[in-house]
A = this chain, B = another copy of it.
Amino acid sequence: MKIGVADTTFARVDMFKEIEPILKNAGAKIARYTVPGVKDLPVACKILFERHSCDIALALGMPGAMPIDKQCSHEASLGMQMVQVLTGKHILEVFVHLDEGKPNEILAIAKNRARKHALNALALLKGKEALSPFAGKGRRQGKEDEGPL
């Protein structure tokens, strides 16, 4: 069980630090790949899958607060759709937008979202119905769950 983690130097929080102990504690091997920004994450994940034999990947990014940054994160996300579709492997996108809150809120969101998605990655590796007991339960990453209607 090998998990790829791609992250960026653009981000203002080291989210890798949050997830490493969770993944290691579960007995997973980790391959890390650090790139400049979110648009560099898709091909990094492709390389983690093809050259480093990862079974799943986490893409950690922190897009800026300007309109052009939304466009960049959109391009990154579409690139990750392409990689997932071509490789048949999941990339869990852990993106925290710099306009999601004040600096201290961003920090808390980033830590929470990274940890919860690390657990999601471990669950997906267990099988396609590992998360089924939680389907439709209004789970959230980065904030409190909203719960079912």
User: What residues make up the interface of A, taking CB atoms closer than 8 Å to B?
Assistant: 7-17, 31-36, 39-40, 42-44, 46-48, 50-52, 62, 68, 70-79, 81-86, 88-93, 97, 103-104, 106-107, 117, 120, 124, 128-132, 134-141, 146-149
Residues of B within 8 Å of A93, CB to CB, are: 39
Could you list some 30 contacts between A and B, CB below 8 A? Answer: A9-B134, A9-B137, A11-B135, A11-B136, A12-B138, A12-B147, A12-B149, A14-B137, A16-B135, A33-B129, A34-B128, A34-B131, A36-B117, A36-B120, A39-B93, A44-B90, A47-B88, A50-B88, A62-B136, A68-B70, A72-B77, A75-B77, A75-B78, A78-B79, A79-B85, A82-B82, A83-B85, A85-B86, A104-B149, A106-B149
